[in-house]
Structure 1
Amino acid sequence: MAKRPDTLETLRLSLELLHRIPRRGTVTANELRLQLREAGFEREPRTIQRLLQTLTEFSGIECNNSSKPYRYCWKEGARSFSMQGLSPQESLLLTLAEQQLGSLLPARLMKSMNNFFSQARSQLGDKGTPQREREWLDKVRVVSTSQPLLPPKINPEVFEQVSNALYGDQWLEVDYQNAEGNRKTSKVMPLGLAQQGPRMYLVCRFDGYDNERCLALHRFISAKASTLTFERPKDFNLKQFDDDGRFGYGDGTKIRLSFRIEKGAGLHIVECPLSTNQQVVELEDAYEITATVVESDMLDW
């Protein structure tokens, strides 16, 4: 009986490894160790290596040892490990989360979840899954309220370093080129990540300053997370930053706005108010609207 806890722990760790070994592509022992650490399993490299060796002997896992580091994957034709108890509804939820939240999740977490997402997609494609769940992805879509634009290209390594630094409250060394073409190397404190339309922005404080700036991720030449951590400022709140209109190029100043608009053009403002205290007076052919809003360039546009 004394060995039972160790045996159960080994089994649990083995199952976690099987979840994370890809059917397409390969993964190293160290990459698996980092994924496990993000999931709350802190283990020594040697422990992971021993378990992987066992799995290659007694399961459908194979090891490519032609060069170091060794790489692991499922053997071709082998039946991969599947998540027990994952319902069609849960598979649908995971697939939607991958599609809609992929750019807002830490890169490490996304890597750790890759095989879970893959299994969810696979289950949705299985003919044994109810048709309604399989068809749901073709029935929903997030659409733009303005002219659709393709997102600018972001260096994957930059995104990984930025999200890891944000996740771990680590200083970030960046090489950045602004809209005017000026290039600068700086040390910044990452505080938030926001998606505005097709663009991604990092909210940060430059070293030595106490005000926040927004940097477009596609303008990063390079980024590297430091090993040095910082204490997150207690006076910063990302929601308040957004509520103050900072992503709309404002400074938080609020104004009382009054205007008239033709009914055909203004119905959407009646249906989706500008503020909680918006007042609407219906005239014969127009609406007279009054609301308290944040003064910003976006409001002017």
Structure 2
Amino acid sequence: MRKATDTMLRYLELLQLIPSSPKAMSVTQLQKKLRNINLDFAVDVRTIQRDLEKLSASFPLSCESKGRANYWFWADKSAMAQIPAMSGNTALAFKLAADHLSKLMPPATLRLLVPYFKHAGGILQQTKLGKWSNKTRIIYRGPQLIAPAVKPKTQKVVYEALLDDKQFAVDYQSKERGVSVRQVLNPLGIVLKNGIIYLVATAGEHEHPRHYVLHRMSRAVLLQQKTKLNTNFDFARYVEEEKTFSYPVSGEKIKLHALFSEDAAFHLSESKLSEDQKIINKKDGKMLVKATINDTMELRWWLLGFGCEVEVIGPNSLRQEFVELTAAMNNAYNPEKPNQP
């Protein structure tokens, strides 16, 4: 069964192909033109005829029979105005979607949208909004690593399985094993983080979700079995509230107390760590920051990024981690230690 998105896009193309009276076009001609626009619009003549009959109930389309062929046309020359042309704002939305959302789109949908992306580019060249993309940028923290390549056929199967709630078989090379192992996965959701595409899925009969990176997958095959879902699983909660992609340590929240230099703490007065965050000015010029926050590895990496501009005060277990870590770093950077080539 074709997806609703495919059908909608086919309808739009079909409406734009139909000429206004006195011109007309046969169903066969419309079928060929649709196929030339996009192979995903390649449906049989009977389907095109049904499409036209359905559309004629909402739009002023008329049909004339000549022999065994049906010829369709717009009865009202101004009727095409009922189909809104792509505005500059819409074109900009398509442009931003192409730039930033492509990796999250199912390949079939992305392929269907390519003509619209190209059309949007042409529209933007004729409006001042065309300069917007050159005047805006998204910047991520830290060095931008080059994302590993994902096999297009594999991505297609994974996204199709997720979209249709079906299982798929795949060879997956985990970090621990170092070799590819054939697995049957139940896809639950896709996460894009730092250019890496992650699939949240369960394997076989296991109910606990795991993270699988798409670039370590190969030989993916879509299966007909439906995805085995845990009815209590909430993908949005799993990602956003449980912070599973922030590398949780204890799974609990901790009450962070940390002394920041004035410069390091300034941005926290504008962008809070938590709703209950408090900043207390100390006599020595330091700023004591208190906040209830998830206990994650990303929190540790963030704190380490400030170097000596931050001192972790509590909780005691986190402070002890930093005591041991700084001792190890001090040993690594010991000036009496010879440099390694």
Normalising by structure 1, report the TM-score. Answer: 0.72
Describe the superposition over 1:117-146 as per-residue Cα deviations: whole angstroms up to 9, x where unpaired.
Answer: 121112223xxx22x211111011111111
Residue 171 in structure 1 maps to residue 180 in structure 2: no
Match of 2:181 among 163, 179, 184: 184
5+ residue gaps in structure 2? Answer: 1-9, 17-30, 51-82, 302-341
Q: Distance in 1 between matches of 2:151 and 2:11?
A: 38
Describe the superposition over 1:250-288 as per-residue Cα deviations: whole angstroms up to 9, x where unpaired.
Answer: 163222211111121222333222222222212342221
Q: Distance in 2 between matches of 1:300 and 1:256?
A: 14
Describe the superposition over 1:26-60 as per-residue Cα deviations: whole angstroms up to 9, x where unpaired.
Answer: x54xx324xxxxxxxxxx64546999xxxxxxxxx
Secondary structure of 2:230 counterpart = coil
Secondary structure of 1:142 counterpart = coil
Q: Which has the larger radius of gyration?
A: 2
Secondary structure of 2:144 counterpart = coil
Secondary structure of 2:101 counterpart = helix
CA contact (8 A) 1:91 1:124 kept: yes
Which residue matches 2:277?
A: 278
Q: Distance in 2 between matches of 1:195 and 1:14?
A: 34
Which residue matches 1:32?
A: 41
Task: Decide whether aligned partners of structure 1 residues 116 and 190 sit closer, same or farther in structure 2, where only a CA change above 3 A counts.
Answer: same
Q: CA deviation at 1:223?
A: 1.9
CA RMSD of aligned residues (A): 2.7
Q: Distance in 2 between matches of 1:164 and 1:288?
A: 50
5+ residue gaps in structure 1? Answer: 1-9, 34-43, 52-82
Secondary structure of 2:215 counterpart = helix
Secondary structure of 2:119 counterpart = helix
Secondary structure of 1:208 counterpart = coil
Q: CA deviation at 1:159?
A: 1.3
Which residue matches 1:261?
A: 260
Which residue matches 1:105?
A: 105
Q: Distance in 1 between matches of 2:170 and 2:293?
A: 34
CA contact (8 A) 2:171 2:217 kept: yes
Paired amino acid for 2:161: A
Task: Map 1:46-195 to 2 at 5 A.
Answer: 46-47=45-46, 85-125=85-125, 129-130=126-127, 132-180=128-176, 181-195=178-192
CA contact (8 A) 2:13 2:34 kept: no
Q: Distance in 2 between matches of 1:141 and 1:12?
A: 32
Secondary structure of 2:94 counterpart = helix
Normalising by structure 2, report the TM-score. Answer: 0.64
Which residue matches 1:39?
A: none
CA contact (8 A) 1:20 1:116 kept: no
Aligned residues: 241
Describe the superposition over 1:70-120 as per-residue Cα deviations: whole angstroms up to 9, x where unpaired.
Answer: xxxxxxxxxxxxx85111111111111111111112222112222111211
Paired amino acid for 1:121: G
Match of 1:212 among 209, 212, 217: 209
Q: Distance in 2 between matches of 1:268 and 1:97?
A: 30
More deviation, 160-169/279-288: 279-288
Runs of 4+ residues over 4 Å off in structure 1 = 10-13, 16-22, 48-51
Paired amino acid for 1:160: K
Q: CA deviation at 1:20?
A: 7.7
Q: Distance in 1 between matches of 2:264 and 2:271?
A: 13
Q: CA deviation at 1:164?
A: 1.1
